[in-house]
Amino acid sequence: MAAPQIIAFEPPLSGTAGGQIVSLFGNALDSVTTVSFGVQPALVFSAYLVSGHPTYNSRIDAVVPPGEGTAVISVSGPGGSTSTGQIGRASCRERV
């Protein structure tokens, strides 16, 4: 089984109240079993296969938990785990 890979996400993380929906785009995300923002798990998430896109094959929509400052978005599943690195709640890598 392939390791998950996060390529991009949108919209930028903003605020600290939580409840924002963030979409993660990447590969092998459809088999992910956990999504975390820093040490806090996503409040809820759903994974989808994406067909026809040249850069990624799957997407996750996750509800961000309350938090402050920066967060590492990480995902784990049977194929392994990956993360975005430190991301400010007001920053984002543009979706490709």
Q: Retrieve residue 70's tokens.
A: 């920066």
- Residue 68's pLDDT is 66
Entry pTM: 0.82
pLDDT of residue 38: 86
Enumerate residue ranges in the chain where pLDDT < 70: 68-70, 86-96
Q: Give the list of residues 6+ apart from residue 26 with CB closer than 8 angstroms, or none.
A: 4, 5, 6, 7, 8, 56, 58, 59, 82
pLDDT attached to residue 10: 87
- For 15-40, the pLDDT digits (tens) are 778 888 999 999 999 999 999 988 89
Query: In angstroms, rounded to a whole number, what is the distance separating the alpha carbons of residues 8 and 28?
Result: 13
